[in-house]
Amino acid sequence: MRQLKNGEFKFKPSAVKAAEWMQQEPLPMRSIRKGTPVKVFCGGGWKAGTVVQWTKDGVTVRLKREQKIVVCRDNRNLKEESSK
């Protein structure tokens, strides 16, 4: 965020995009096909993985680097690889 000469504040586009992303509903989970590359938000940031299983309550994802399986139960913590 920065202040313009006329006194208005201008937010960074990335901050606005992140705020819009967090405004979506956490449930119900959107359907994602098995084997789809996705990104999951873990404590340290976004991590790449592939979908192992989908249910109405959550999506099971296998992380590439850690070879770990996680269950994501919130839409806001899951992005398809193609979306930026």
**17: its two tokens:** 């995009």
Classified as helix, coil or strand, 80 is: strand
- What's the average model confidence in pLDDT over 17-42? 82
The pLDDT of residue 57: 86
Domains defined for the chain, CATH in brackets: 2-80 (2.30.30.140)
N-terminal to C-terminal alpha carbon distance within the chain: 21
Band of residue 74 on the pLDDT scale cut at 50, 70, 90: confident
Going by C-alpha positions, the residue among 82, 52, 81 that lies closest to residue 69 is 52
**58: its two tokens:** 């959550």
- Per-residue CA distances from 49 to 1, 4, 9 (Å): 32, 41, 37
Give the DSSP H/E element, type plus range, for residue 37: strand 37-42
Classify residue 64 by its DSSP letter. T
**What is the per-residue pLDDT across 1-20, written as a single tens digit (0 to 9) for each?**
778 889 888 877 777 777 77
Classify residue 57 by its DSSP letter. S
